[in-house]
Amino acid sequence: METINIAILGCGTVGGGVAQIITEINNVLSMRAKTKIVLTKIVELFPVQASERFNIPLGLFCGGGKDLSGKEANEYIQEIISSEEIDILVETIGGKSDFVYNLCIDILNSGKHLVTANKALLAERGKTIFETAEAKNVKIGFEAAVCGAIPVIKTIQEGFTGDKVLSVSGIMNGTSNYILTQMQNEKQEFADALKLAQECGYAEADPQLDINGGDAGHKLILLIKLAYGVDVSKDDLSISGIENITKEDIDFASEIDAKIKLICYAKKVNGDIYATVRPMLVKKGNFLAAVEGATNAVRINNKYSGVHFLVGKGAGSTETAMSIVSDIVFIARYGDKIQNVPAKQERNFADARQFVFPYLITFQTGNIPGTTGFITTAIGKQEINIETVSHNRHAGEKAMFSIATMPCTLGQIEKAIEEIRSEKPGMLLSEPKIMPILY
């Protein structure tokens, strides 16, 4: 039986999980790969902690198990990259810094396969990385970069090769979904729900990428590359997060039998791609409305096979590590038969203002009779059909209400708001909140 030698760079939460799985079920993995998988080297600044946390033999760590300086760690990394004995390198250092970017390029240029969970790096700086892999005829495994343990990458890349992906949507950030679940089920304010998410380990001390849509955006960029073969940048996407969701928004959603979720959405129509990450009101008839807590779920709609859902844990040490190990086994078994997916250069991205959805528009106005009628008339003038108007919520001199529209464009709604401001200056006390409704 041939041997595939593995080295892991970084042995924190994810890298430690990878090492743990490989050491615990090595015989099973080797049998599945039809190749003996051997973990030979680990580079980690604090090996004793990692060894004790993940039950990894200390002898696997470079430096004989002593703590390493950054310089020492980098020297060991360069030795591993130069070694002809190593076949696959696992990058779990994380981040999109020049150091990590150059490290991945060096790994590929050395003729070694790369496996990583680094969604930020691949989403924002992945073009050259994938091109380098293609030029050197080596493979990049990145299943763990999107939704942790859910095998969405292989499902699209391998399972649906006989089909055509029409749309991809879903809940791809567990932190935001946990926060929204707490707000909806436990009636918590956003700040309290975020604090609880941090206490439970779902949110980082700095949660910005989770709550502002950035993390979900990285994942959607990678799925668009796979589903449509298009090279995407963050500037191509319309991204907004959940940090401005309030109790009133939750109540208005309940009135139309919906739940608010941070949704990744991409759809291709007549060559144009509509893609966005933003809070949406998901109707309870849609399976995504029932996905609660830190769970992730991806909905794939295909031309021939219809709608598919993939649901599971989107983060966690062994959950994410399992996807990395899956890539290792896949590369070890199939090697050159695996195809990297180079993205095309053309970007046929539709203007977000032309997305056709039903929308919920929430207005805050002065508490003045006739306001609701004036606003609904202005909306109707833009040829927007209204489905429902909520009950008014009054607070002193202020009123708040929402309008659910039939399918229309964001551009139409913006024109209606412009007319309201033009004809009745001062009527709107804040910027109207506009959220798509997903059936």
Q: Which residues are catalytic?
A: 219
Among 40, 34, 89, 82, residue whose Cα is nearest residue 61: 40
Tally helices (H) and strands (E) across the chain.
Answer: 15, 18
Residue 229 makes CB contacts below 8 A (sequence gap 6+) with 341, 342, 343, 344
Query: Could you give the CA distance from residue 19 to residue 7 in angstroms, rounded to a whole number?
Result: 9
The total of other beta-carbon atoms located within 10 Å of residue 257's CB is 11
Q: Count CB-CB contacts under 10 A for residue 127.
A: 16
Look up residue 32 and give its two tokens.
Answer: 């599945």
Buried/exposed 313-336: b ≥16 CB within 10 Å, e otherwise: bbbbbbbbbbbbbbbbbbbbeeee
Distance CA 363, CA 386 (A): 15
Run of H or E residues at 399:
strand 398-405
Please give the C-alpha separations between residue 259 and each of 135, 177, 263, 333, 366, in angstroms, as whole numbers: 46, 11, 11, 43, 27
Q: How far apart are CA 232 and CA 235, in angstroms?
A: 8
Give Cα 379 distance to the centre of its chain: 34
